[in-house]
Amino acid sequence: MRVSGQDVLGPDGGALRLRGTNLGGMLNMEHFVTGFVATESQMRASLLDVLGPERYEMFFDRLLEALFSQADAELLAKLGVNSVRVGFNYHHFEDDHQPFVLKPEGLARLDRIVDLCASQGIYSILDFHALPGGQNAGWHADNPTHLALLWQHRHFQDRAIWLWEILAQHYKDNPWVAGYNLLNEPADPTGKAVAAFYRRLVPAVRAVDPNHLLMVDGNRYATEFDIFDEPWDNTIYTCHDYCGASLKASGNYPGLTDGEWHDAKTLEAKFLERSAYSRSTGTPLYVGEFGPIYTGEAGRDQQLYQILADQLAIYRDHGAGWCTWMYKDLGRQGLVGVKPQTAYRHQFDGFVAKKRRLATDAWGTDFSQIADLLDPIVRLVKHEFPDFDGYPWGTEYWVQTLIPHIVFSQPMVGEYAAAFAGLTQEQLTALADSFALSNCQVRENLYALLAHDLEDA
């Protein structure tokens, strides 16, 4: 594939609008996807203590195979997507205590996904979702702190560049890899470190692989692109386009959410703001992540489907490619979700309910469950530090996420792992296999909306 003006040209030379979904929660696991708490590394370390090395490896090998198999690739091909974005965590490729030492099993796991998708005519976009040190402060960067240390330590940056050089060498001749999404959702409060890092990273990757597409996220979680000057050759500048009214159970559409009006016009205005750099430079428009968080309440979910339909129409009108967040989870957001009668749901639904009560998963909560605790702290911080503006989304969100994600989540890690203690190999297998497509149900309304947009593919 190559960029030609605002078009992406496929292998046959014709224009190709990349449309697909994110395979989140696999090679970079997130707490709301598979029900654990805190970060993937913290969860894995606790499970290793409980299960021991052999049973630990068996469980995660089985889980990764269940999360995406031939059946999943076939479902996506039937839906009509032409691409998937495959997020990965650096821990699959190296250990912190052995930096710059490649773990070949990481490449094997990524190869398996690329090959499964290729077998169905689906391209893969390789998405570096969790970098050494953390490129943002989020749980989805496997970051147990509230600091994005990638931007403060060249050592972390050198390791990220080293890994991309290896990946570029490995995939440079693979036609089923559409491109390299160099880092997911960077967030640097200074606005200076991200551009400087890209200026090192892009030439390093290009020296190894001059041909594949590069996909570059803007700063502040892929929403700000004023850090860039002239565009690089054969590069797509990818924005993420979440709507505030689609991320909270208490939202309203069309209408007010947290005092802000949301409708189709405001959706388009926000998309045009986030894609302004691509439009001004004449480069392709592409949304790397978007999508509502569903509630299970018919009336509210109908509003959320309308948001999605309006966004798809906007992208179609502007010729933008897109990639929904996401494919498979426990039922909060995925195109498919694990059925309630599975072994995993039986084992962990109570634990997930406790997480919701304590708002440990910021993704999809309005924090009302613990408002009596958080609201006084928000007021105190705003009163004592009136000039402070918590990065990246303001002081209120800064307090709301920091306390549940660290103070509440980290003590719960051991509680999650303890639920695995004493389980037989057969029981562990049943837990992992709960995520197999045969044990999942399709979100039919979402499938229909996406299928309708993909009909002209």
Query: Any catalytic annotation for residue 273?
Result: no
In this prediction, residue 122 carries a pLDDT of 98
Would you state the structure tokens that stand for residue 7, as one six-digit string? 């078009």
Q: What whole-number distance in Å separates Cα of residue 70 and Cα of residue 122?
A: 12
Strand partners of residue 287: 239, 322
Residue 392, preceding peptide bond in cis (omega within 30° of 0) = yes
pLDDT tens, residue order, the chain (457 aa): 999 999 999 999 999 999 999 999 999 999 999 999 999 999 999 999 999 999 999 999 999 999 999 999 999 999 999 999 999 999 999 999 999 999 999 999 999 999 999 999 999 999 999 999 999 999 999 999 989 999 999 999 999 999 999 999 999 999 999 999 999 999 999 989 999 999 999 999 999 999 999 999 999 999 999 999 999 999 999 999 999 999 988 889 999 998 999 999 999 999 999 999 999 999 999 999 999 999 999 999 999 999 999 999 999 999 999 999 999 999 999 999 999 999 999 999 999 999 999 999 988 888 989 999 999 999 999 999 999 999 999 999 999 999 999 999 999 999 999 999 999 999 999 999 999 999 999 999 999 999 999 997 5
Among candidate residues 40, 94, 224, 289, the one labeled active-site is 289
Query: Would you give the DSSP letter of residue 311?
Result: H
Domain parsing of the chain, residue ranges: 2-340+437-454
In this prediction, residue 248 carries a pLDDT of 84
In this prediction, residue 277 carries a pLDDT of 98
Would you state the structure tokens that stand for residue 372, as one six-digit string? 């009596």
In this prediction, residue 208 carries a pLDDT of 98
Q: Cα-flanking dihedrals φ and ψ of residue 322, to 5°?
A: -155, 160
In this prediction, residue 348 carries a pLDDT of 98
Contact predicate 228/237, CB 8 Å: yes
The helix or strand, by DSSP H or E, that contains position 371, with its residue range, turns out to be helix 371-384
In this prediction, residue 365 carries a pLDDT of 84
CATH of 2-340+437-454, one of 3.40.50.10210, 3.20.20.80, 2.60.90.10, 2.60.40.1840: 3.20.20.80
Q: Cα-flanking dihedrals φ and ψ of residue 187, to 5°?
A: -145, 100
Query: Would you give the DSSP letter of residue 218?
Result: P
Q: What whole-number distance in Å separates Cα of residue 63 and Cα of residue 74?
A: 19
Q: Are strands 2-4 and 336-338 parallel, antiparallel or unpaired?
A: unpaired
CA distances from 44 to 19, 36, 52, 59, 252 (A): 32, 10, 11, 11, 37
CA distances from 308 to 163, 269, 300, 304, 414 (A): 35, 15, 13, 6, 37
Q: Which of 416, 412, 413, 421 is nearest to 52 (CA)?
A: 421
In this prediction, residue 322 carries a pLDDT of 98
In this prediction, residue 155 carries a pLDDT of 98
* Unique residue bearing structure tokens 């979402």: 446
Among candidate residues 40, 185, 224, 396, the one labeled active-site is 185
How many angstroms from the chain centroid is the CA of residue 98? Answer: 26
In this prediction, residue 457 carries a pLDDT of 53
Residue 57 one-letter amino acid:
E
Query: Any catalytic annotation for residue 297?
Result: no
